[in-house]
Structure 1
């Protein structure tokens, strides 16, 4: 019971944000026009419409039950006039109404589904990306596996199954309430088979006992499907991600002749997919064997009780068929859990995946708030002095495990200077840059930025989004921010002018361009963005020295008001900077003034 309560609370926590959102929404309603309301009221209105449609369908089923009784009675009595009346005057209008309401239900379902999915997807993407949570989850170890699948697939499945199960349950409750009264009245004088003991509403009690027993056995047999479905979604996503990653790093794999290793790893991942799939199949076989037998037996039960009364002419053929139909409806309502068990098992797995995804994001944010392990970026709460420097005071940069990788008692990066940060590999240079950029969550101390200053960090391997070349060059801004002429001019400046005619071409530019070309494209981004501070984390390491010299000269010329801080190992970088800061295991070592070229 506690497990069921916990599951229902989890489902409610996933539903509640949409039911209470105050986001603005609008939709077009036939005969009314465009309506602007809060999104929650649109969603609630659509769901209530689906409830009313389902209740109306139950009412139609009740009416069709009486039609079936009268039709069979007409056949038994050989009353042709009554037969054709029931068929043409009763059934035909009811069938037309049924078809119309079914079409309306499909339209409302699809609109409700896509609106809820769109809102929920935006919310999850926002939570995942806000505050660099997507990055920090990987660092903290709280990362949920395959967040792309949880956003793209699990949200869709959650909404579809929530709608199907909730409306299905409501419909079955209404069906039970409607047909239970019919079944009770039709079997109020029935006796136990072979006895004269009358049991009011006998068939209703038979349906109830049969359903309870069947539901209990179904859960005993099928409960392992929940864990198996959860694992299947994970294994499928892992395999799909490995294939996508192989495509992304195809050149590196080919250069290292790593195809055999990839085959082995992909085979192992797909092997998990197959093994778990077979476990699901075996469990599903057992569940289907029971449920199919259960439902086949339930077809015969009402005939066993009612047929003797037909033979004794105590009931008409129409009454018997109505009783059988009512028993079937009641039985179907009471065994809703049995027929929907596979869907429920899959639903529980989806709910667990979405819930654990939210918990992983929340755990990452809570970890940042622990004493001594907190974000280091103070801007814009505590701006620096009037000279606009970056001031680093008593900073300890740590790993997620808590181990300190770099301690800096005091360091000032002055506005307008060009500083080169050096040090052995692993000393913490890149970690320092990430702390300045505000995305490194582990550490203590104070890093204060100039108030209102924009900071741009160019890593050694730039991120190239999938899309048009214009999207790739404009990133992290959108493609409509810069005029195409300005973008083309920036490409010309970094010796990528041959790409300018292809700004509207879509492609996998991260695979098409060499690393050196990607680094020059990254410099073009800086020329367009014109940040106040530009942090270069070995951002020109793939370029030869003459091209590297050109890029630094270009930055100095085009961005005269941008303060540049670089990480690098080449001695030739000294010529482009006027200060060298060496980081050591003990913190800041030599701080040397340079004479730039």
Structure 2
């Protein structure tokens, strides 16, 4: 079922324990290790229950002036056994928690990469990153730090209550009065913790998004003198996160002391009443000590139950955020029945319509053909739909009407992977990934690539000269988004990457528009090598770059208003004539 995160914000259905367990199962939680960890935890819990009884006997033996060395030795062994069992169970559970969350993160990462482009149009990247990195960490914390404690504490409480009934049922009934009081405190507070956790995670994601954007565009920030504005924006997000943190602290500041107060009052009552029972001879001093020690065995787990319940509510909130990604419909090949064929065919748009949002039409019944092995240019004012045509060819979006054909087949009949392997794309500001020049040239190639192939692609892209002039050559780090290189250098690396793909269809989004004349000359020569024997589609903002195109298609407000060569459009298309006059008269 497809859901969007922002649409669900504020009306999220509370995640059930069942869904959380299903998520753990889907991650392949190591059941044997988990079972052994719980078993060892229970061994430690049982040992902890035996210690108070042995201690009581030891005290009664002191009263009878008899010191039993064997009892002391047995007590020491019990202490050691409890420590070893607790240590091993914690290590095993840490293994379970880390491995499970690692698998959940991998599943989420695979799902994120499979999500369609419209998802990323609607949701900020930092929010998605926060879900993969931070929300999953809450799940690990619950498993590693709280799950075993909950199981062992539950066993401890049940066992301790049973022993207490055996020692003195009247005093035990007084203890049980505290149970409904404790749950009466826990339940309403847990619901508030859930709501606060949902809001806190959302605010944390918003802060991450702001930091990512500002740090990524720090040059723009400084060049625009926007430091104070961004400082205030950051402070506002941090203050909001601080307020949510204080709300959580306020709940804990009420919850923990209340639970502690209930336990302390209970302890005072038990000691007072127990003293009366000892003085009447109904209870020995050793049994009273055992009773009090067992009471401590109950008190500590009850305070832990409060922490566990609070953490469980936070995990439910985190799991709900993960669920919204896991249930979002991925990019699919629903109609794919074959691999895209090798070779060249015409691409044809048949009455294609498209809108990013309902009621905001970008393309309306657009029909045109892109001849194989020819150069087709798309021209028109901003917002006319040129980039949308590229996105539809790349199958980032599905047309809301009409069809796109490759020869005699509709492109949706091909698998996404095989179709996109036919495409090469060079944009106006070609992005580079953090890494070396070599990493960026071979980016996306799964099969091994030889150094000779890399060098040949660089040569054809006119990048070989500047790469070899660098001290580290192909091993030069390009920096974040290629910041260490000039615009022309980045473009030529992007062209080398496209050449290495050996695409049948080439998409050029005004690849020389932002370059100086020298760089433009070098990049244009590289593009000429790239375009040889390929079906090429060019988005042109400057008509001077496409006057030699085999076909020019004019787009205006989502409609095709003309097509032909440069000379034909000069003769027949008024808008084209007007653009040509403006640009060529100004030297563009």
TM-score (norm 1): 0.81
Show the counterpart of 1:47. Answer: 34
Q: CA deviation at 1:5?
A: 8.9
Q: CA deviation at 1:145?
A: 7.1
CA contact (8 A) 1:519 1:542 kept: no
Structure 1, residues 444-485: CA drift from partner, whole Å, max 9, x if none?
Answer: 22123466551132333333323344333332346x843455
Show the counterpart of 2:400. Answer: 443
1:219 and 2:187 matched: yes
Higher RCO (Cα < 8 Å, 6 or more apart): 2
Q: Which runs of 5+ in 1 are unaligned?
A: 20-39, 188-200, 369-374
Instruction: Decide which of 519, 544, 562 is 1:590's aligned counterpart.
Output: 562
Structure 1, residues 152-203: CA drift from partner, whole Å, max 9, x if none?
Answer: 111121133145444333223322332222111111xxxxxxxxxxxxx233
Instruction: Decide which of 374, 392, 404 is 1:417's aligned counterpart.
Output: 374
In the aligned structure 1, how far is the partner of 2:475 from the partner of 2:55? 64
Structure 1, residues 55-79: CA drift from partner, whole Å, max 9, x if none?
Answer: 2222222332332222222333332
Aligned positions of 1:257-268 closer than 5 A: 257-268=225-236
1:583 match: secondary structure:
strand
Instruction: Decide which of 64, 69, 72 is 1:77's aligned counterpart.
Output: 64
Aligned positions of 1:150-549 closer than 5 A: 150-187=131-168, 201-221=169-189, 223-333=191-301, 336-359=304-327, 361-362=328-329, 388-441=345-398, 443-449=400-406, 454-477=422-445, 481-484=448-451, 486-487=453-454, 490-491=457-458, 493-494=462-463, 496-497=466-467, 498-499=469-470, 501=472, 503-504=474-475, 506=477, 507-549=479-521
Q: CA deviation at 1:512?
A: 2.8
C-alpha spacing 1:565/1:332, structure 2 compared with 1 (3 Å): same
CA contact (8 A) 2:510 2:540 kept: yes
TM-score (norm 2): 0.83
Q: Which runs of 5+ in 2 are unaligned?
A: 1-11, 408-413, 568-588
C-alpha spacing 1:485/1:203, structure 2 compared with 1 (3 Å): farther
CA contact (8 A) 1:137 1:143 kept: no
Q: Please identify, of 244-253 and 285-294, the stretch whose mean Cα deviation from structure 2 is larger.
A: 285-294
Show the counterpart of 1:371. Answer: none
In the aligned structure 1, how far is the partner of 2:406 from the partner of 2:457? 28
Show the counterpart of 1:136. Answer: 118
Structure 1, residues 511-558: CA drift from partner, whole Å, max 9, x if none?
Answer: 333444333322121122221212112232212345334333323335
CA contact (8 A) 2:424 2:506 kept: yes
Q: CA deviation at 1:242?
A: 1.7
Show the counterpart of 1:97. Answer: 81
CA contact (8 A) 1:527 1:555 kept: no
C-alpha spacing 1:344/1:283, structure 2 compared with 1 (3 Å): same
Q: CA deviation at 1:150?
A: 0.8
CA contact (8 A) 1:391 1:449 kept: yes
C-alpha spacing 1:218/1:481, structure 2 compared with 1 (3 Å): same
Number of matched pairs: 540
Q: CA deviation at 1:435?
A: 0.9
4+ residue segments displaced more than 6 Å: 142-145, 382-386
In the aligned structure 2, how far is the partner of 1:176 from the partner of 1:403? 63
CA contact (8 A) 2:385 2:558 kept: no
Structure 1, residues 412-438: CA drift from partner, whole Å, max 9, x if none?
Answer: 212211111111100111111011101
In the aligned structure 2, how far is the partner of 1:294 from the partner of 1:102? 28
Instruction: Decide which of 40, 46, 52 is 1:59's aligned counterpart.
Output: 46
CA contact (8 A) 2:112 2:325 kept: no
CA contact (8 A) 1:72 1:318 kept: yes
C-alpha spacing 1:326/1:536, structure 2 compared with 1 (3 Å): same
Superposed CA RMSD in Å reads: 3.1
